[in-house]
Structure formats: structure tokens, C-alpha cells
Amino acid sequence: MNEHFENTFLTAVEQNQHKLLRVCSVYAEDEDDKKDLFQEALINIWQSLPSFENKSSISTWMFRITLNVCMRLQMKQAKKRDRFRKLDSLTIGSVREEEPILEVNERLIHLRNCIKTLNDADKAVITFYLEELSYKEISDITGLSENHVAVKIKRIKIKLLNCLKEKI
């Protein structure tokens, strides 16, 4: 790759790394998992950069790749886990006691745990909403219409509020 691609990549990563890490954290079971997802996303972004066509902003494009990486690896991990666990011992979205929790605010911890209980599509939509992406950007990333994004966000907020009420 030429120097232009390298500069574009480095600038885009620098501008978006914290947001991409937060997306990864929603799909990760622990800090190491988050770092692995982030690294895998960066590799995919780097490899795909020559095919970036400027049809959306580079950050939207990076979010789409990161989401795909997270969901793909999450499915692989789930298949592995399912092979080794009994169905009745599965606790979807639970946080293990030994997981390092970086958030200081207890409400944020509860919110994160509630988000982890959502299905993959809802998890993606609310994560991008919390990153303050517009409905249009969320639509571009997920492939949903803007109206569908708006409806999903309203329904997800209700689910999260109900979940938070149970936890607090």
C-alpha cells in the first residue's frame, strides 16, 4: 500500500479508536477479548482500505467493519462455548465476577450488562446510538431503514429501562 493509504488509515484510527473500542467492549466478555476484537477489526479495516469507495464517511465504514468482526467472532465463540456447556448452565449476558470493570459509575455498569442481554441487531443499533451516530449513519452501517432504526431505538430504550429497573 502507498503512503496515502497508510496516512488515511492512521488518521482514521486515531480519530475513531475510542469509539471502536467501545463497540468492541459491548461484544467482548473481558478486557482481553475487547483488545482481540479491536485488533481484528483494525486488521480488517487495513486490508479493506483499498476498496473504500467514499460512499459513506470513513468512520461509518469503519463502524460497519468493526460490527461485522465483532458479530462474526461472537458467533464463533458462542459455538465453541455451546459445545462445552450444558444448555441449562448458559447465562447470556452475565458478567463474570473476575471481569475487570472499567466503568466507575454503577449505573453504567448496569446499562452495559443490560445491553449485553440484547440480541445482536439491537445491541448494534443501541451501541451506535450511544456513540451519537445519526439515524442515517446507523442505517448505513446496519442496512436498516432510518425509520426502522428510529422504531428499534425506541423499543430498545424500553427494554433497557425495564432491565435497569430490575437491577437497581
CATH number at residue 65: 1.10.1740.10
How many structural domains does the chain have?
1
pLDDT (average), residues 38-60: 91
Q: How far, in Å, CA of 156 to CA of 115, rounded?
A: 9
How confident is the model at residue 40, as a pLDDT? 93
Distance separating alpha carbons of residues 42 and 97, to the nearest angstrom = 29
- Could you tell me the residue range of the domain that residue 95 belongs to? 3-167
Cα dihedral angle (105, 13, 70, 92), rounded to 10 degrees?
0
User: Per-residue pLDDT tens for 64-107?
Assistant: 999 999 888 877 766 655 544 433 332 334 444 444 444 335 77
